[in-house]
Chains A and B, each alone.
Chain A
Amino acid sequence: MQDALLAMLAKEPAHGYALRARLQTALGPLGAAMNPGQVYVTLSRLEKAGLVVCVDAEGAADRKVYEATAAGRERAARWFAGAAWPKPDLAEFHLKLVAAAASGMADPVELVALQRRELMRRLRDAQRAALEEPGEPVASLLLEGVVLRLEADLRWLETCDRTWRGNRSDREDS
């Protein structure tokens, strides 16, 4: 969120509450994921780091007007130039299945089923939100991404289920 705030402040100064409203709109149905004070806490962190300055500190936290410093603008530019992307975080679960089979402490097939139930519940929450009145297309994109990611993970779990189920019946046969 830090970089997005810096970028929003790069062109012109803005009130904390205006920034908060813009983020809220951008997040669409997932806007509630933002804590009420989160924007203000982040802004004061950016201020301490010298990336923004408060140009009008009259009144409460949300009434402060912020502006990006040269360093802040530079950081926003670097953010736009980069192509960082989170790596899939699957190794932990994969190793859990291997360890379950090796230790005999748990059944990998059961662990896959447990995980699948959890992801299906999340997918249901996401679907519920997505199927409510069609939102603004840009704001719906994030939720669509969440749904697609869950679908991909569920497909992977299906593959895990097939393989570990096969291993289990091989063990039973031998």
Chain B
Amino acid sequence: MTGDASGAVLLRVCGVSKEYGERQSLVRAVDNVDMAVRAGHSVAVMGPSGCGKSTLLHLLGGMDRPTRGEIWLAGHRLDVLGERALARLRRAHVGFVFQSFHLMDELSAVESVEFPALLAGCGRRRARRRAVELLEQVGLGDRANHLPSELSGGQRQRVAIARALANAPSLILADEPTGNLDSAATRDVLRLFEKLRVAGQTLVMVTHDPRTAATADRLITMHDGAFVDDTALSPAQAPAASLIDLEG
């Protein structure tokens, strides 16, 4: 285990289910799931498409409400909050990263990144300063005034990650963050995730890409809405050198 095993539990999920439809057409997208994520840990959720992993992520971010169970984030119970309180909590605590970036076409990179800070009531100059810093952090300091249409897929996703970090959220939620990227852009994004992980950012991501999942500390596997495996990926004492055999 990593040294921050003692970090406080940031996110707790207790007996959560999410059902759609009713009677014969009832679908249990998430089926009685429990999990606890400690601050500073990164968790990857994998599973075949339709296993409920995206639904779970929406529940964790308060974008959707569970049919049953409790979701606690940073000491607040999400599933019972009213819409406005929920929106406020989301803004303060959660940064989202989506597969298709979700950037606004007419906003430049720096405008996209400062937007959540402005929404949260941050002053213009402070929001701008922070946005410029974040763009530098993701390696796009020289693209601040570019529109999404002038950026590559990997660059757009890095802008989206900078935006997710705008309000210094306790938790980043990422839904297939490398799903639309080629291998070079995937590498850039994963390198950035690795940097965030080392810096102690709590991250929960949903992915079907093993390469992306392998950057997490912990891997949860879902099947038919339930967790079928939950394992620490923290390297034991196996350095990269043990990956190959060299015969003399």
Please tell me the number of chain A residues within 8 Å of chain B, measured between CB atoms.
Answer: 40
**A127-166 residues at the B interface, CB under 8 angstroms:** 127-131, 142-143, 146-147, 150-151, 154-155, 158, 162, 165
Interface contact B240-A126, CB-CB below 8 Å: yes
Q: Which of B14-22, B132-140, B211-219 contacts A (4 or more CB under 8 A)?
A: B211-219
Is B233 part of the binding interface, using a Cβ–Cβ cutoff of 8 Å? yes
A147 near B238 (CB under 8 angstroms)? no
Give bound CA distance, A15 to B221, whole Å: 51
28 contacts between A and B (CB under 8 A): A29-B240, A30-B240, A30-B243, A33-B243, A33-B244, A38-B248, A42-B248, A113-B221, A113-B229, A117-B229, A120-B219, A121-B235, A123-B214, A124-B214, A125-B243, A126-B214, A126-B240, A127-B190, A128-B194, A128-B235, A129-B243, A143-B243, A146-B243, A146-B244, A150-B210, A154-B210, A155-B210, A162-B48
Is A32 in the interface zone, CB < 8 Å from B? yes
Asked if B241 and A33 sit within 8 Å, CB to CB, the answer is: yes
B197-248 with Cβ < 8 A to chain A: 210-211, 213-215, 219, 221, 223, 228-229, 231, 233, 235-236, 238-248
Q: Kindly state whether residue B187 has any CB partner on chain A within 8 Å.
A: yes
Chain B residues with CB under 8 Å of A31's CB are 241
- A interface secondary structure, majority: helix
Which residues of B does A touch, CB under 8 Å?
48, 187, 190-191, 194, 210-211, 213-215, 219, 221, 223, 228-229, 231, 233, 235-236, 238-248
Cα–Cα, bound, A39→B191 (Å): 34
When chains A and B are docked, how far (Å) is the Cα of A124 from the Cα of B193? 13
Question: Which of chain B's residues have a CB closer than 8 A to the CB of A33?
Answer: 241-246
Q: Do A32 and B223 have beta carbons less than 8 Å apart?
A: no
New A-B pairs, 6, CB < 8 Å, besides A32-B239, A38-B248, A125-B235: A33-B244, A34-B246, A120-B213, A123-B210, A125-B239, A151-B211
Query: Are B244 and A142 in contact, CB atoms less than 8 angstroms apart?
Result: yes
